[in-house]
Amino acid sequence: MAVVTGGASGIGRALCLAFAREGMRVVIADLDGPGMAETAAQAGAAGARALAVPTDVSRLAEVQALADRAWRDFGAVHVLCNNAGVGVSGGLEAATHRDWEWVVGVNLWGVIHGLEAFVPRMIAQQQGGHIVNTASMAGLIASQGLGVYNTTKYAVVGLSETLSKDLRPYGIGVSVLCPMGVTTRIRQSARNRPAHLQNPTGPPGSAVELIGRYLTPEHVAERVLRAVRDNRLYVITHEEGLEPLRRRFERLARGIEESR
Ligand SMILES: NC(=O)c1ccc[n+]([C@@H]2O[C@H](COP(=O)([O-])OP(=O)(O)OC[C@H]3O[C@@H](n4cnc5c(N)ncnc54)[C@H](O)[C@@H]3O)[C@@H](O)[C@H]2O)c1
């Protein structure tokens, strides 16, 4: 049984459908009711039982209610995908407190809430399992104009790297998904921005153009499925990331040299 946050669209929907095709039951958690209904219908057509649970991942009580519902209806949770996320662009010097609250609330607190609500029960059920946290290449390379988003995704990478060590004794694997461009609705993230966190001055800077190819969510979900099966930590879907990663590592190595 798999639980997927952000399952109403994009990568989350593709993950739900990939699990459904594997014969798993899925719980879809999202803010977007019609989007969840569409994912559930497609999972049903693939022969899987699917349950949609309206959830705002930035609120701990809602994620705890999601976990209650998952265990009540399905009896066990084997895979948890903390995938819901939003993006905002613009220089850090211009980021508003509301930008921080919104993006950190969904992208980082959302993942933390997933851990708080699910990990103790996954350990207690003694059946192993797997947790997939969706970060981004923005969690490994800090592109200009994406500072708020980068901050949350670096944190999700660090959290996941540590979690994989912490949960190894319990037979619970961890993967962190770090894609570059994927053809989803992430660039229309503002559709999910709550009224109390809107900027009074309107939306910030224009969208940042990413380098590299845009992959489909289905391609990305297939790579995640393989990583879960093989119990691999890093799911880095774009080889275009290799050179910028090398350059970052070289800068870090130079930092050590210059700090001797
Ligand atoms: N698309 C890309 O290029 C790309 C690249 C790297 C990482 N990512 C990450 O992939 C993940 C999925 O995004 P996507 O690209 O599929 O975008 P998407 O906008 O298509 O899907 C995101 C989903 O998250 C949901 N969501 C937003 N706020 C929520 C909240 N508070 N509670 C519950 N659900 C919420 C949305 O309703 C939507 O269904 C995100 O974490 C994103 O940061 C995307």
| Model confidence band, residue 4 (pLDDT cutoffs 50, 70, 90) | very high
Position 200 scores a pLDDT of: 87
Instruction: Report the C-alpha dihedral over residues 220, 223, 227, 228, rounded to 10 degrees.
Output: 70
**Tens of pLDDT, residues 121-155:** 999 999 999 999 999 999 999 999 999 999 999 99
Distance 245 CA to ligand 1 centre (A): 23
Is residue 189 a contact partner of residue 248, using CB atoms and an 8 Å limit? no
Report residues whose beta carbon is within 6 angstroms of any ligand 1 atom: 5-6, 8-12, 30-32, 35, 55-58, 83-87, 106, 134, 136, 179, 181-182, 184-186, 189, 192
Position 2 scores a pLDDT of: 98
DSSP state letter for 58: T
Position 206 scores a pLDDT of: 66
**Tens of pLDDT, residues 185-238:** 999 999 999 999 999 886 556 677 777 899 999 999 999 999 999 999 999 999
**Tens of pLDDT, residues 67-123:** 999 999 999 999 999 999 999 999 999 999 999 999 999 999 999 999 999 999 999
Pick from 154, 192, 214 the residue to mutate for probing ligand 1's pocket: most ligand atoms within 8 Å of its CB: 192
CA proximity to 134, closest of 174, 167, 103: 174
CA proximity to 48, closest of 19, 79, 8: 19
Is residue 165 a contact partner of residue 233, using CB atoms and an 8 Å limit? no
Catalytically active residues are 149
Position 204 scores a pLDDT of: 57
The residues pairing with 51 across neighbouring beta strands, listed in sequence order, are 27
Dmax (CA) of the chain: 61
Position 203 scores a pLDDT of: 59
Pick from 11, 154, 159, 160 the residue to mutate for probing ligand 1's pocket: most ligand atoms within 8 Å of its CB: 11
**Tens of pLDDT, residues 159-190:** 999 999 999 999 999 999 999 999 999 999 99
Position 205 scores a pLDDT of: 60
Which ligand 1 atom lies nearest to the CA of residue 189?
A: 19
Two structure tokens written together for 88 = 């905002």
Which ligand 1 atom lies nearest to the CA of residue 84?
A: 24
Which ligand 1 atom lies nearest to the CA of residue 57?
A: 32
Burial of 36 (0-12, 13-18, 19+ CB in 10 A): buried
Query: What residue ranges define each of the domains in the chain, with the CATH number in brackets?
Result: 2-258 (3.40.50.720)
Position 208 scores a pLDDT of: 73
Distances 204 to 104, 145, 183, 198, 208 between C-alpha atoms, Å: 16, 11, 22, 10, 12
